[in-house]
Amino acid sequence: MSPSALDVILGTADKALRTVFGSHHASRPRPLPGTPHDAPEAPLSDAERRLAGALMRVNHVGEVCAQALYTGQALVTRDTQLKAHFEAAAREETDHLAWTRQRLDELGDRASLLNPLWYAGALGIGIAAGRLAGDRVSLGFVVETERQVERHLDSHLKRLPEQDRASRAIVEQMKEDEARHARDAEQAGAATLPLPVRLLMRAAAKVMTTTAHYL
């Protein structure tokens, strides 16, 4: 028996509230830095701690948006195999959500105050991409989004304090996972998005990451 429209709405709202306001539990162990023979991690200065917190807040926002994007895409696709693909990717992104939030707490920092806005925007993009343009274009949005996230994570590895190995270990694993998500979407038949769409997505991501750095 297929779910009613009310069931879908309530289920989507529940996912949104859990993502934005709930606590998250990773299905995989959190990535740990280094090896036993490494020197102990040096303490961070106040400035380094603020920088690390800001970067991890941006990364946490990215995972909030990923949850929303995959939820929107899974909501509208009629392909059961593709729906399972989106739902599996969302579950893995939950690991990232849990890891980044835990690291924010350790750094004494907070999540973005605008997370409800980021979630709503990404959910709308996911629904629109799947509903108006079809599954191949929807997968194309996944590829472009994950490529952008991968570039952001690479830049964060260059900016994070060298001694903040705890944050760096999380970001390195996230970068590896995002690259795999992009490859999986390509193999599933993703269409290449037109250049204007990709440029618009990059501009929107720039606004989001710049704002989330502070808010």
What's the rounded mean pLDDT across residues 159-167? 93
Q: Quick one: pLDDT at residue 5?
A: 63
Q: Quick one: pLDDT at residue 1?
A: 42
More confident residue, 14 or 197: 197
More confident residue, 203 or 21: 203
Architecture of domain 5-17+45-214 in this structure = Up-down Bundle (1.20)
Query: In terms of Cα–Cα distance, which of 25, 18, 169 is closest to 102?
Result: 25
Judge whether residue 39 has pLDDT over 60.
Answer: no
25 Cβ partners below 8 Å, 6+ apart?
94, 98
Segments making up each domain of the chain, as ranges: 5-17+45-214
Per-residue pLDDT tens for 126-153? 888 778 777 888 888 889 988 999 999 9
How far apart CA 89 and CA 193 sit, in angstroms, is 20
What's the rounded mean pLDDT across residues 40-46? 80
Q: Cα dihedral angle (75, 91, 138, 2), rounded to 10 degrees?
A: -20
Per-residue pLDDT tens for 84-109? 888 888 888 889 999 999 999 999 99
- Mean pLDDT score of the chain, rounded to an integer? 86
Q: Quick one: pLDDT at residue 34?
A: 66
Exposure of 125 in the CB half-sphere (CA atoms within 13 A): 24
- Whole-number percent of the chain with pLDDT over 70: 91
Judge whether residue 62 has pLDDT over 80.
Answer: yes
Judge whether residue 168 has pLDDT over 80.
Answer: yes
70-73: Cβ within 8 A, 24+ apart? 70/126, 70/142, 71/12, 71/15, 71/16, 71/123, 71/126, 72/122, 72/123, 72/124, 72/125, 72/126, 72/127, 72/128, 72/129, 72/130, 73/126, 73/127, 73/129, 73/130, 73/138, 73/141, 73/142
DSSP-derived 3-state class of residue 39: coil
Q: Quick one: pLDDT at residue 130?
A: 78
Amino acid at 71: T
User: In terms of DSSP H, where are the helices of 77-133?
Assistant: 80-106, 115-128
> Can you state the angle between helices 115-128 and 46-76, rounded to 10 degrees?
30
What's the rounded mean pLDDT across residues 16-45? 75
To the question of pTM greater than 0.85 for the whole model, the response is yes
What's the rounded mean pLDDT across residues 182-207? 88
Q: Quick one: pLDDT at residue 104?
A: 95
